[in-house]
Structure 1
């Protein structure tokens, strides 16, 4: 590639750079006016004077980078300034897209001003220097973005650490004070009285819950998931949207889609952060009762009989064993017929419907139910007694 610069081009370039250096206020004002038009940048906490002062210093250092003779010193100063700027903008909450748009202004404003102060006969010189201008600005932009992303990661880790501390405080207290729940809510960005959903699992389902939390945290999604791990269990909870005035319960309770196929204990609605510890114990108990056929979250509505059966067994009462003992005198296929009839009756509560399902006369069904009562002492027409059977056969 040929070098078309004349011996005087270096001198002329220095003159143009000096003139740029004398126009720092103009450059800063142009940048300030244009950057305030960028969405989410103009409404940020960064003030106009700060934007203007930072722009002035940015252009001063970029112009230093365009000079000859002190390239290394100027480059170090420029990149150090870029690192500080990236960190500041991250802490100010400037979105990455807005920062990108702002940094791109540097080259266009700088180059437009060069064109304005240059003479027509400088065209060849400018053409030969455009790569230098772009290289200086681009290196500044890259360092700014790298520092911005590094600071964002550090801030996210710090925020995550703080959140984990508050969540642990939330779960590790059996009774929460209003003050503690308010502090936790403030740290998590949700109201202390917010309704929440909660799930719990251990083992492989717990691993899947943790993976789901990571996926939700990687982007902007409809639900916010908060993670807690304790005693081999993984807990996730999330704020529910306000319940519409005319919503049914099923409409108001919403499960994050990524959790739909993970077997776990599920409490669909927790009324306020102060209720989360008790809900966590419920979800943990439900998770301990999961069965191989369960392919998704299991709530107390769906598994209340399992909970009741487990609690009775823990108290030394095994209703299923009592039933087996009571029906020992059955002979032939009588036990199977009685069991089939009773199960159908429990599912419908109707003699006629049970007879139709089993293709029997209703008197046959009545006789079998009477025989079952004779053997077990359970009158299925009495809800309190029928409930014992439902639990026994959970």
Structure 2
């Protein structure tokens, strides 16, 4: 409506805009979130002066709606870039009407108060122009920033998986983006192509806060081996996916990815993962390459943790048994009781998951024990 009273009061307020803006900035600074925000006092005061001046000019009848909208959008985007929480920003914006109305009312003469009271809707409309544009711009910028972050993260992850980078700085950046430690221990699960939907359901049900990645149309998960939300081994084995051995550090994820991706093609049932133990002959035939040291360490880690004497006794027994396949002959050769030999073979199975008496396991054990 813009009555003469509103125009006059708004014009007079512009005459002491610096003081008004400073008071507003001080109130905003006390709001939750602003005390620790990266918005400086100088910037807060400068922005307050600019926005309040445009609001006062709009109330005085000037056609500055377009300019105000542009400024509001700029501020909204900048606050998102500065990391100010949306809730904190909206608290400040919602304060605008109350603050502006109190300033106008305090400025009005006694004979202007009644006429001014009829302009509440006009003041509200002016503030709403600012509010709607600043909020929309903030959300739009936040979406854009998140999209860029996802693209950047996907690019870094892709380079890591294909072996294009092991730079410590980039690894640290990727670790931060993924929320994972650089030196953590990980398993990689790559969705079986024929069970992609089942893999998504499995991840949602069994991996708390699952961060499902997609590279070249292939879905996969990176699971921290000893994290608080890590599913137990039996649950990992039930994923419709290729499951890598344990990988030490983010730098080794590329090898884990290669193993899991190849294994994913071998999954035939949606309740059973393909692992090194279940499909090692196929991997050996194709050439394990870099994957073999990781695979071997996965199988022998518990065995290697034993004292040298205990490990040697078990390994020597297994080697001797594999050379003959006879419990009796091996016991005689090692000068040990038959029960002692059986206990050592059983202990080897407990530590590695491989049974020397099973032909397919025996072949893999032979590869593992080929070098000390």
Name the TM tier (shorter chain).
Answer: 0.5 to 0.7
Show the counterpart of 2:280: 308
User: In the alignment, is the contact (CA less than 8 A) between 1:44 and 1:92 conserved in 2?
Assistant: yes
**SS in structure 2 at match of 1:60:** helix
Q: SS of the counterpart of 2:268?
A: coil
Say yes or no: does 1:103 pair with 2:93.
Answer: yes
Q: Say whether the 8 Å CA contact 1:168–1:228 is kept in structure 2.
A: no
Give the Cα–Cα distance (whole angstroms) in 1 for the partners of residues 5 and 12 of structure 2.
Answer: 11
Which residue matches 2:148?
A: 158
1:112–1:226 CA distance, 2 compared to 1 (3 A): same
Matched, 1:91 2:72: no
**Which 10-residue stretch deviates more, 117-126 or 137-146?**
117-126
| Matches of 2:109 and 2:201, distance apart in 1 | 62
Q: Is the 8 A contact 2:243 2:263 kept in 1?
A: yes
Partner of residue 36, structure 1: 29
After TM superposition, the structure 1 = structure 2 runs for residues 359-374 of structure 1, keeping only pairs within 5 Å, are: none
What whole-Å deviation, never above 9, does each CA across 1:171-215 have from its counterpart, x for those lacking one? 1118845565345435656442233443211425335657999x9
1:146 to 129, 136, 149: 136
CA RMSD of aligned residues (A): 3.8
For the residue of structure 1 that corresponds to 2:126, the secondary structure is helix
Residues 301-380 of structure 1 mapped to structure 2, 5 A cutoff? 304-311=276-283
Q: CA deviation at 1:264?
A: 1.7
Task: Specify whether residues 130 and 183 from structure 1 end up closer, same or farther in structure 2 by C-alpha distance, changes over 3 A only.
Answer: closer
Structure 1 window deviating more from structure 2 (202-211 vs 136-145): it is 202-211
Change in 2 beyond 3 A, CA 1:386/1:97 = same
- The change in CA–CA distance for 1:50 and 1:385 in structure 2 (over 3 A counts) is closer
Does residue 1:225 correspond to 2:202, yes or no? no
Question: Secondary structure of 1:386's partner?
Answer: coil
What's the offset of the Cα at 1:161? 1.6
> What is the Cα deviation at residue 390 of structure 1?
6.1
Partner residue in 1 for 2:221: 236
Residues 11, 184 of structure 1: alpha-carbon distance in 2 compared, 3 angstrom cutoff: closer
**C-alpha separation in 1, matches of 2:229 and 2:44:** 45
Match of 2:271 in 1: 295
- For 1:86 and 1:146, locate their aligned partners in 2 and report how far apart those are by CA, in whole Å: 8
What's the counterpart of residue 319 of structure 1?
A: none
CA deviation string 1:130-167 (max 9, x = no partner): 00000010111101111111111221222222112111
Q: How does 1:37-76 map to 2 (within 5 A)?
A: 37-68=30-61, 70-71=62-63, 74-76=64-66
Count of residue correspondences: 300
Structure 1: which 5+ runs fail to align? 244-250, 316-376
Give the structure with higher Rg (CA).
Answer: 1
Establish whether residue 265 from structure 1 lines up as the match of residue 237 from structure 2.
no
Deviation of the 1:239 alpha carbon: 5.3
CA spacing shift, 1:198–1:311, aligned 2, 3 Å = closer
Deviation of 1:277 (Å) = 1.0
User: Structure 1 residue 276 and structure 2 residue 269: aligned?
Assistant: no
CA distance, structure 2, for counterparts of residue 138 and residue 260 of structure 1? 56
1:386 to 351, 357, 361: 357
The aligned residue for residue 330 of structure 2 is none
Inter-CA distance 263–150: structure 2 relative to 1 (3 Å threshold): same
Match of residue 325 from structure 1: none
Q: Where does structure 2 lack aligned partners over 5 or more consecutive residues? A: 288-323, 328-341, 347-354, 364-372
Contact map agreement 1:174 1:278 (CA 8 A) in 2: no
TM-score (norm 2): 0.68
